[in-house]
Structure formats: C-alpha cells, structure tokens
Copies of this chain bind each other. A is one copy, B any other.
C-alpha cells in the first residue's frame, strides 16, 4: 500500500526535523538527553504524518508543516513520559525500552515532560515567512486547546478517575475523544492551517468528520488488538479481558460488536473525505491502515 511508503517518508522527515530542533545545548545536559531519549523512542509518528498528509491533500508546502509536525509529536511524547510515571500508569517499559523515569530518574522525567510540552509551543512560534502571524496563532490555539484541560489532559484525568469503575459507551467515547481524539483532530487542523489556503466550510467539515472517525477507529482497533494479541501470546481465550471490568469496546459491545463498530468508523472516514477528491486518497489509505494494522 502506498500509504506505508508515505508514512516511512514522513516518519523520517519529522525525525530529521526533531533532531535539528533538539540539538541545542543547555545549562543542564541531562535534561536535554532525557527529552531526546523520550522523543526518539521508535514511535510510529502517526500525528506528524497526519499533519503532512492533510497538508499535501491541500497541495501545501511541507516546509510549512514541519514546526507543527514536531510540535504535536513533542506534546504526544511529553504525555507518554508523564503517563508512565509511578503515580500514573507506572510503566517501566515502552516499546521494549526503559521508560524515561527508569532510564533517568523520576524528577528528570517530570521535568523532561514539562520541557517537551513547552518546546512544542515554542516551535510553533518559529519565524515563518510564508505563514501569517495570525495563522501561526491559530495553530498555537489549536494545539493548546487540544492538549490541555479541555482535551488530552482532561481525558487522562478522566481515565485515571475511572480505573476499576464501569463506563457506559457514551463515557468511553467521551474519554477517548479527549484522551487521544483531541490530538488527532488537532493534527488534521494543523495540516489544514499549514497548507496556507482557505478551505470551504464543507471541506472543513469533511476533514473534521474524517479526524473524529479515525481517532475513534484507532482506539477501537487498539482494544481489539489487546484481545486478539492476548490470544496469540498468552493463550488466553478471546474476550478474557471482558471479566476485568476494563472499559473497552469489546467489553461493552462484544468482540463482534467492536469489529462492526470499527467497520462503521472506517466507512464514516471514507464518506467524510468523498468531497475532497483524489488528493485525499492517502487519507483514505491511512484510515484503512489504522483499521487493518496488527500492532
């Protein structure tokens, strides 16, 4: 599928951009090391790729998307560093590597996360001769709104507050819309803004509809993989997570119901992008990639 090549190209591009932006020295080198360690951890760079793909679907200049692609990945990285802390999810490993607070220490992980969030917004202030300051300000507004107490952080707080408590479908969806959906929608919005053109309300609605469909699809497929990967690796029967009272789509809908939901969301993503024409084909392929991925 052409999209896997696109993803590889954009992954490489954002990593080069991040390397350049994180090469400065500081009064405290350990802090910078921890920031670099956390952001260069083999992530799939889905959010930056989404920024670039949307930019290209509007025939934008990729150079104008670089700061936004780096910024959204820095926000994502900081959220993982803080999520992994003992007071939060208490994870020692991420992608098979020691998490930041294990590799360094707890204080350094807190500060590296803080600095990664801050630098994300700093990057969006970078001098850009193509983009009007008002547009850059809109990009900042987009990312701050998606990241904070009305978006990602609220979703994380909601998640932690409902450990071991049952959620209904509306609550589960609201949680994911905040925790992961807000940042994926921001990626799409940043892609539009970086393309430096006007979009019609209809086009904008198409992108928004696409973003919310793939945001939720991403999560439903995550939940499905949790079960099917258990089956392979632990030999547990499919659906054994249902008894854990963990709020997942299969727990609420059954595995077949979750698969139906995933198929619906994929169709929603395709329908939403119809009016965007052939330029949006990679976005449709990304939706397919998200629902078909096996890791």
Contacts and interface: CB of A to CB of B under 8 A. Distances in A.
Interface of A: 24, 26-28, 30-32, 35, 78-79, 82, 85, 87-88, 101, 105-111, 113-115, 117-119, 121-122, 124-125, 132-134, 136-137, 140-141, 144-145, 147-150, 153-158, 160-161, 174-175, 178
Given A24-B150, A150-B26, A161-B28, A110 B85 contact: yes
Contacts of A174: 27
Contacts of A157: 28, 30-31, 107-108, 111
A27 B154 contact: yes
Tell me how many chains of this kind the complex includes. 2
Interface of A is mostly: helix
A149 B107 contact: no
Given A85-B110, A141-B125, A27 B178 contact: yes
B148 A115 contact: yes
B140 A82 contact: no
Given A85-B110, A118-B147, A148-B119, A140 B154 contact: no
Contact of A105 (B87, B121, B136, B153): B87
Contact of A110 (B26, B110, B115): B110
Contact of A153 (B111, B124, B153): B111
Nearest to A24: B150
A35 B101 CA distance: 24
Question: Which of A79, A118, A141 has the most chain B CB atoms closer than 10 A to its own CB?
Answer: A118
Contacts of A132: 133
B118 A149 contact: yes
Nearest to A87: B106
Nearest to A142: B125
Contacts of A178: 27
